[in-house]
Every structure is written in structure tokens, then in C-alpha cells.
A and B are shown apart, each in its own frame.
Chain A
Amino acid sequence: MVQLLTPDGERVPHPDYELDPTPGELRGLYRDMVLARAADGEGVTLQRQGELALWPSLLGQEAAQIGSARALRDDDHVFPSYRDHGVALCRGLDPLHVFRLFRGVTHGGWDPADHNFHLYTLVIGSQVLHATGYAMGVAAEDAGTAVAVYFGDGATSQGDVSEAFNFAAVYNAPIVFFCQNNQWAISAGNERQSRVPLFRRSAGFGFPGVRVDGNDVLACLAVTRAALARARSGAGPMLIEAFTYRMGAHTTADDASRYRDPVEVEEWRGKDPIARLGLHLRTTGLADDEFFARTDREGADLAADLRASVRGMPDPGLADAFGRTYGSEHPLVAEELAWFREYSASFVAAEEG
């Protein structure tokens, strides 16, 4: 397992993956993780208060998401799953888009072209094929960019993911398969999905796989950077298994105490990705109290902004949804919309009359 920063905040070398970040870059990674955790925590809170329908928390996976996402170039293209709020933040997506989705205002709603960041995908594994096809398109155009796709350990059981691995290998597609192995797929542990470590899956398809410490933001950054460079150079796909842990329940609808041992959760608390980099910044003197206080404040401000915006969000009207089903005129939709308008108006008329 590739590691560049131990849980005690100590830098360790690795023969294949070097990284020489500036103090500013290190502080930036720390800040990204704090902001991601703050936004995520607000998602959980707002769901509890009835403002959101659901929230899948990224708690514990900040390093995997921030490290990998900061390895991307702006012109690379990203296909996320549904828990990748940290990646979204790094891509520059307005976090309110994600909150709208989990509030039940939209099913996506943002333009993937704005930040080269595709829509969240809730059907497990589907986006892995889309990303592969996108990468095939990139290769056909010789565009010199790469594609990154995010998925969970559970997703590796889906046929779609195996099929994507095979297509990517056969067409030598410039893609990085970034699997966040948080060790749980709702109540199903790793042993339910695979009898071999996940990073070894790629070997059978003919491309390399590597396991990285998913709670080590530096290792995630270094390995993803190398995999993306490899993809851009035309050397083909690579699988990264970021070995991490889902600290929270699967979603706000889940009760993890029914299926997993709290001792395990405690153990992983000691490997917290943010604390780890924080420790490093402190012991090396690369950040002072002022920095930590300011960063925490930024996180709190972000959460407060999100809270205010979500609470004030108006409900969408169904009438607008009719026109989004097709790209051009469709007589059935037009007829139903006309009926819906007339029917809705009859209530207004009844109230006024």
C-alpha cells in the first residue's frame, strides 16, 4: 500500500511515487479537506432537520477525494458517484447543486461542461462505463487529456464495472479508475464483494492496479497524478484502490450499528485524514494556530452559507419538468402539459371564485 504520510503525521518516502509539495500546496490540501468535511456535515444536519431528503456522508474519505481531485487538470473529465462532494468542491462546482439534488429539487441540474464534472450517478456502477466511453472518445480525438471515474468497493461486483475494465483495456482508453474502498457497501463488507484485494482486479484485464492509503492525501495525490500522466501519455488505463473507511452510516437513512462493530470505527478514527495532515503541518511548523483557526472559520462560514441558501430554496414546479424529457417537440408531452396547466389552474380559479 502506497503511503507518504503516516497516521502520526510523519513523511515517509516511496520509491515509485515521489511528491515534493510546497508549504502552500500542503496547506491548500488541508483547507480543501476541512471545507469538504464542513459542507458534508451540514448535509447531515440539514437532512436531520428535514431540509434534505437524504445525505450520503463522505466523512473519513476526505483524503481520497481531495488528493485524487487535486491531481486532475482542468481539462481532464470526471465521472463521480454520489458521495463525491469533495471532488465536486475541487472541480469548482457550486456545492448548492449537490444540496439541490439531495433536497429533491433536481436529479442533477448542473452542466457537466462547466467544470468537466459529470452528473452524480445513483445506479451503482453505471458511470464507470460512461467514463470509459468518454475516454475512448478522448483517445479517438487524440485530445491528450484524461478521464477519472469514481466508484465504491460494492460497485466492483457489478457487471458494468468489469465490462468497463475490459473496454478500457481493449481500446487503451486514457482513464483512471478510482475506487474508494471504504470497506462497506451499506451492510456488506469487503469479503462479500471480492475474495481478492480490489486493486488486483485489473491484472486479469491487462492493466496495472495499485493500492494506496486512502486516508493519506499526499499518497492519493501522488498516485493519481502518476496514473493520469500515464493515461495522457497513451499508456492506457490504471486502477487505483484507495483503501479508506466510511466513518458515518451509509446515508442518513441507514443505521450502521446494526451491522458493524463500533470498535472498528474507533480504530479508524485514529487514522483521520485531516488530523494526520494537521499534525504534519504543526510539527513541521508549516502552519500556525492562526492558519488552523482561519481554516476552521472558513469551514463554519461555508456551512452557514449553505444552511441559509438551502432553507430559502423554493420548490420547483412540475410544469417545468415536462419540457425536459425530450430535446424537441413531442405531441404527447405537449398534450399532457396543456392538461396539467388547465387542471392546476382550476384549483386557483376555485380558490379565487
Chain B
Amino acid sequence: MTLSLVRAINEALRGALADDPKVVLMGEDIGKLGGVFRATEGLQKDFGEHRVLDTPLAESGIVGTAIGLALRGHRPVVEIQFDGFVFPAYDQIVTQLAKMRARSGGRLGLPVVIRIPYGGGIGAVEHHSESPEALFAHVPGLRVVSPSCASDAYWMLRQAIDCDDPVIFLEPKRRYYEKEPVDTTAPAATLHSVRVVRPGRDMTLVGYGPTVRTCLDAAAAAEEDGVSLEVLDLRSLSPIDFDGIEASVRRTGRLSVVHEAPVFFGAGAEIAARISERCFHHLEAPVLRVGGYHMPYPAGRMERDYLPDLDRVLDAAERTLAY
């Protein structure tokens, strides 16, 4: 069936609720309203208020009680309304959710999924456009993933809910309404693997979430100038499939990483460091990063200049290829 990314999320949640009576959804406005993006539309009606919880307005409370529910054998899937509002829950996520398994000598796994619509490009007001992935990927004990398309949204969410560790599930909100055919009978890939979304010869571009589309557009534009860019969808930020990236870079000899989050201490830095170690003798140029600047996400009327776009990606490609 052909689904938009947000509809694929809905289908995945529906499937998980139907398949496992221990799955519960929690969040603000997710029940009667169906979520501010309608990701949970119809689910409370079909599964009841005890499976789809409209919670009080308290993120720390939501994640804290999700931890308790998980300790009791449930599999909570939490919705945070917008990226900028996860921070009241950050304490629970970092000090409790991430560490419980280690603290319990490996005994207590917490199968909690935290879904966060993230990223900019929708002209929103403050706190509605952020990319906090590095703040989670830096924390041992959390798995961090981000689909870029409807198929991955469906399957990665199913896999995340099945996972016995906590998963931060970042949804690229500006891609919510992009549609594609989704095969709901079998997954195409495992949760943490890199996917080659466009093969190419001259250089590798790594994106994830909202920037995969940007990289694909850049690759299409570059082709007109006779430059062949390979595009990888990272899909997972913790763990990262470095083998998958390495295999590509060994072929192309060049790499840029593209994300919306600020470049400083971002995912691109980790990828650049590891790939430089692994592929030192194969690299023809330093690994470049394209991303946000070192400032709070700007007001909506400035975001076009802030977000990495096709031109910024091509600029990085040009600089890399000039070596």
C-alpha cells in the first residue's frame, strides 16, 4: 500500500498494538485528537483508553511512568509532541532509562520507545524545529534511529518496539507527508544498517532523516554536471553501521555528512573521525560536514539560510572533489 511517512507510523503503531497486548502508547493529545500530527489517529478509538493514554502535560512524568510500566512488563511507546519539549524528560531518559540495564547487572531491560518529531523546515515557532540526536546518541544505553521514508518509518518502528532496549525514534516532521509504496509483509533491512539509496562513483554523501531527500536532490543535480554522487541513508545513529559507510567510501574515496543539527560535536564529527581512521589510505580528501551553525535554531524567517540545502551539499561536494 502507498503511505505517507506519518501514516506509516500510524500503521506500525496499529500493528504493534494488535500483535502485543503489552504495547501501550502514551503522550499529550495522542488519544482523542490523534496527536498534533495525527500519527496516532484512530488508535484510541480502536484500542481503548487503557492502551492509548492521553497523559497529563508532563514529559518527565510520561517517561518516568513509562519506565515503571516497562519494569512491570509493558512496552510503552511514548510520543513527545515536538523536539524542543523532550528536555523536561531528559533527566529520566539519561539518568534512568539509559542506565537501568547496566545498573541491574544486565537484568533489567527497558523496552521503551520515545518517538520525537524533529527537525526544521516547516516555518515553525521556537522549540519546534530542533535536531537533538547527538544529545541522545552520546548517552550509552540508548539506541537512536531516524527513518527518512515511509517504508523505513513502518519497519523501523516495528523493530524499535520489538527491541528490548530503549530506542529514541526521531521522525523527520517535514517529510511526514511524503508518500511511497510500503510492503508491510517483510522488512527490507535490519534496524541499525546503512542503506545505499543511490549508487554513485565519485563521492559518498551520508544523510539521515530529513536530509536524505536533500542529498538525493543534490545527487540528481550533480549528475547533470557529470558528477556521480553515492547517497547513503544512515538510518541509525546509535549504533552506526560504520562497515556500511566504509564499504562505500572505499569505492568513492570521498565523503560528506549532511545533517540539520549543529555541526559542532554532531553526528558528522563521529563519522568523520571513525571513517578517517578506517579509510585513511582510501580517502582522497578530508571528510566534510554540512549542517547547522553554532546558534539556537533561528526564527522561522531565517531557517532557509540555516538549513543545509541542495546548494550547501553541492558546495561541499565541489570542495571535496577539488582535492
Contacts and interface: CB of A to CB of B under 8 A. Distances in A.
Contacts of B126: 107, 122
B239 interface: no
Contacts of A155: 57
Interface stretch (A157-165, A280-288, A300-308): A157-165
Nearest to A335: B294
Given A53-B300, A104-B125, A318-B306, A258 B33 contact: yes
Interface in A9-55: 53-54
B195 to A, nearest CB: 30
A170 interface: no
Given A122-B127, A192-B56, A336 B293 contact: yes
A104 B301 contact: yes
B88 A159 contact: yes
Contacts of A188: 28-29, 54, 56-57
Contacts of B31: 187
Contacts of A102: 125
A160 B88 contact: yes
A325 B124 contact: no
Contact of A159 (B36, B54, B60): B60
B159 to A, nearest CB: 30
Contact of B88 (A105, A158, A321, A325): A158
Interface in B216-263: none
Contacts of B34: 258
B305 interface: yes
B34 to A, nearest CB: 7
Nearest to A154: B57
A73 to B, nearest CB: 30
Contacts of B315: 343
A315 B298 CA distance: 12
B186 interface: no
B32 A258 contact: yes
Contacts, number: 116
Contacts of B298: 318, 321
A158 B299 CA distance: 26
A316 B302 contact: yes
Contact of B58 (A53, A54, A157, A318): A157
Looking at chain B's contact residues, the main secondary structure is: loop
A311 to B, nearest CB: 14
A14 B264 CA distance: 61
B294 A325 contact: yes
A310 B198 CA distance: 44
B291 to A, nearest CB: 11
Nearest to B123: A53
B33 A186 contact: yes
A265 interface: no
Interface string B20-36: 00000000110111101
B296 interface: yes
Given A123-B85, A192-B56, A101 B294 contact: no
A333 B88 contact: no
Interface string B279-323: 000000000000001111011111101100001100100000000
Contacts of A349: none
B123 A158 contact: no
B54 A316 contact: no
B84 interface: yes
Nearest to A324: B295
B33 A259 contact: yes
A342 to B, nearest CB: 11
Nearest to B293: A336
B3 to A, nearest CB: 22
A54 B124 contact: yes
A124 interface: yes
B57 A157 contact: yes
Contacts of A54: 124-125
Interface string B122-145: 011111000000000000000000
User: Which has the most chain A C-beta neighbours within 10 Å: B58, B300, B312?
Assistant: B58
A103 B264 CA distance: 29
Contact of A253 (B36, B84, B312): B36
Interface in B29-52: 29, 31-34, 36
A158 B57 contact: yes
A125 B56 CA distance: 13
A321 B262 CA distance: 14
Given A325-B294, A343-B315, A318 B85 contact: no
Given A157-B58, A186-B36, A321-B295, A104 B300 contact: yes
B54 A157 contact: no
B61 interface: yes
Given A186-B36, A258-B34, A157 B56 contact: yes
Contacts of A316: 299, 301-302
Interface in A329-353: 330, 332-333, 336, 340, 343-344, 347
Interface string A85-104: 00000000000000001111
Contacts of A336: 293-294
Given A53-B300, A104-B125, A159-B88, A185 B264 contact: no
A204 to B, nearest CB: 17
Contacts of B61: 157, 159
Interface string A236-259: 000000000000000001100011
A105 B295 CA distance: 15
Interface in B108-132: 123-127
Contact of A185 (B32, B57, B87, B295): B57
Nearest to A185: B57
A332 B88 CA distance: 28
Contact of A187 (B33, B85, B306): B33
12 contacts: A104-B300, A122-B125, A155-B57, A157-B56, A157-B61, A158-B60, A185-B57, A188-B57, A192-B56, A330-B294, A333-B293, A336-B294
Closest 8 CB pairs of A and B: A104-B300, A187-B33, A157-B56, A318-B305, A154-B57, A104-B301, A157-B57, A157-B58
Given A104-B303, A188-B54, 8 more contacts: A104-B300, A106-B299, A107-B296, A122-B84, A123-B85, A154-B56, A186-B36, A188-B29
